[in-house]
Every structure is written in structure tokens, then in C-alpha cells.
Amino acid sequence: MIVDKILKELKSLGDKKIALHHAKFFQTHKGGYGEGDLFWGLRVPQQRTVAKKYFKDITLKETEKLLQHKIHEVRMTALLILVEKYKKADEKDKKATVKIYLANTKYINNWDLVDLSTPSITGAFWFNNNTIDMFKFAKSKDLWRERIVMISTLYFIRQYRFKETFELAEMFLTHKHDLMHKAAGWMLREAGKKDINALRVFLDKNYKKMPRTMLRYSIERLSEKERNKYMGK
């Protein structure tokens, strides 16, 4: 069975030292945003290699089984398989891939899982269809669904469409979690790379209300003079 084959291969690539590092880095301690997560100790390039090796042969249903696994790197590999599948899929299979992705967001429960999969799947899908579900997720009060929405706009930004990025960043101005401040700030910075004046308009309107982390991330590529202005120095 291909699922068992993939699991065996991933486990064989594990490294206990890396697993310990990951557990600390992804805050698996009690009260951390990754509380209770488990690792085998793989690097992302290893998981990409496995995903590219098997994505043509594994079904969506089997991939979903991997996505629901207790080990972090297994879930990551499943997401990378979905990314590869989405790239090659026709419209019917793209919808099926997104349906599985959105039905399993409780397993996409750390920032790396979100960031390495979301733009290529939900970002691409919402860009080419509609954003109704996108804004429903934005109002979900679920940290990982909110981050999925925010990072999805990276795909939009790459197509020079910034409206959703700015709307969502404004929605998250009062968000309590630093991971959302970083996500929104990152997307604002990326939008600024494409259209610096559009970023300036957003900053002029909102910089006094922006969490400091969000603001710092968003202005990283501005001149020192502008950064000092927005930071109030």
C-alpha cells in the first residue's frame, strides 16, 4: 500500500537530533502554538523529494490519510503532494484538491504547513474563482485558517492584485497573535515589492494602528528615512 510505503520511507529519513530541534523551534511545549506536535526529524527538501516521487501514484483519498497523520513531517509531505497534484490537475481535480485541503485545516496547524502549501493551492484557487470562502475563513477566529487566508494572497500579489491583501491586513490590525502580525506584515512587504506606492497608501492610513511586528515586517524594504517616519523615530 502506497501510504505505508511513504510512511516507511519518511521514517527512515528521520533524525532524532533534528526532531528535537523541530520540537523546540515549532513551540510544541505546553501553551505553545504547536503544543503536542510530534516530529521524525526531516528537512523540507527531503519531504519535497518524497512528494515529487509519489504524487502521481497516490490518490487524493490516500493523501488525505497522510494529511491526518500525527507526525508533522507526514502532514507536510501530504501537503506538498497536494501542491504537486494541484499544479497538474484539470479544473475538476483542482476543486477536489481544494475541497480536501479546506476540510482538513485542523491538521494544517503550524505556520510552515500553511506557508509552504497555501499560496499554490487555496491562493491559486481563490484567485481564479471567488473569494467568498476566503473571507469566511478570515472571520473564523481560528489562527491557522486566518493564516491560510493571509498567506493565500501571496498568489494574488504575484499577479499584481493587492486588494485582498490590503483588506485582510486591515481586518487583522487588532489580531492578538504575533504569527498573524508576521503573516500580514510579510504580505504587505511583498505587495510593496510590486507596487511601493500602494503600500505607502496603506501605511499612511494604518501605520499608527498597526502592531509593531506587522509594521516592521511591512516596511523592511523602504528607505531608512521612511522606516523611521513610520516607526515614529
Same domain for 108 and 22: yes
Taking the C-alpha atoms of residue 95 and residue 209, their distance in angstroms, rounded to an integer, is: 38
Taking the C-alpha atoms of residue 52 and residue 229, their distance in angstroms, rounded to an integer, is: 46
Boundary residue ending a domain (90, 117, 144):
117
The answer to whether 179 and 115 have CB atoms below 8 angstroms apart is no
The pTM of this model reads: 0.95
Boundary residue ending a domain (92, 117, 142):
117
In a domain, 122, yes or no: no
Residue 198 has pLDDT above 70, yes or no: yes
Residue type, position 9, single letter: E
Taking the C-alpha atoms of residue 155 and residue 124, their distance in angstroms, rounded to an integer, is: 6
**7-23 average pLDDT score:** 97
Residue 173 has pLDDT above 70, yes or no: yes
Boundary residue ending a domain (117, 140, 163):
117
Residue 233 has pLDDT above 80, yes or no: no
* Residue 110 DSSP label: S
Chain mean pLDDT for the chain: 96
- Total number of domains in the chain: 2
Same domain for 167 and 77: no
- Give the rounded percent of residues in the chain with a pLDDT score beyond 70: 100
Residues whose CB falls within 8 Å of the CB of residue 139, separated by 6 or more in sequence, listed in order: none
Same domain for 112 and 1: yes
Instruction: Map residue 170 onto helix, strand or coil.
Output: helix
What domain range is 144 assigned to?
132-233
CATH number at 81 reads 1.25.10.90
In a domain, 92, yes or no: yes
CB atoms < 10 A from the CB of 37, how many?
19
Same domain for 173 and 136: yes
